[in-house]
Amino acid sequence: MARIKKASLVDQIYSRLREDIITLKIPMGARLNVNELQSELGVSCTPIREAVNRLQQEELVIYENNVGARVLTLDEHDVREIHELALTLQQAAVRLAMKNGDADEMLEAIEEQLDRYENARSPREGVKAVHNLIGVFYHQCGNRRLDRSMVAIQGQMLLLRHIYAECPGWSGRLPDLTAVRDGVKNQDPEAVCAALQSYMDGSAPAILEWLKTHE
């Protein structure tokens, strides 16, 4: 892990640790030892503790008595809850965006991300494209509170997407994403919502299987 440069230390440390957690560089369940991080990053313990506290608020890190801070672990119940909440928010954003947003701008942005997904050179690039594609609806929905609600579980949802990207056939959900694009083009929010549910439902079994093999 590269040493941190000066600037907004807490923000930098938070961003670095968050990225390492959601991309599985730091494994789920791993203990976050402040002294070890202090040595690796070349900073004092205070900004590290503040960054870890922010990760706790996002529920990417759990604090346990007599253990300390560790990266969250997930089971079938957790995956179902995260998916249910994320899908509810996504579908609300879709309906609002297609009612209030700029249809041409939305379609252009979605086609751009769909192209990036199809031409992704790595699973990580594919995850970013999916994240940005769905983010189009939040940007266009015109509801800041809905946007903030999604941000609250964004880290956990990104973690699930990166787990899915580790699975064989992770790119096989292209028809669902194409259906999202087609639904926007046809001004059919319910078709978009159905495609997003299909994407979520289709990825869940692979994620659960991955979790079983990495217990």
- E strand residue ranges, 55-176: 61-64, 68-71
Residue 74 banded pLDDT, cuts 50, 70, 90: very high
Cα–Cα distances in Å, from 152 out to 74, 105, 146, 159, 173?
17, 26, 10, 13, 25
Give the chain's domains with CATH numbers. Answer: 9-71 (1.10.10.10), 76-213 (1.20.120.530)
pLDDT, position 66? 80
User: Is the overall model pTM greater than 0.85, yes or no?
Assistant: yes
State how far Cα 98 lies from the chain centre: 23
The secondary structure element, H or E, covering residue 133 is helix 123-141
How does the average pLDDT of the chain come out, rounded? 92
Distance CA 197, CA 206 (A): 15
pLDDT in tens, 87-144: 999 999 999 999 999 999 999 999 999 999 999 988 889 999 999 999 999 999 999 9
pLDDT, position 122? 87
pLDDT, position 168? 79
Residue 6: pLDDT above 50? Answer: no
Distance CA 175, CA 153 (A): 25
Residue 194: pLDDT above 80? Answer: yes
pLDDT, position 176? 95
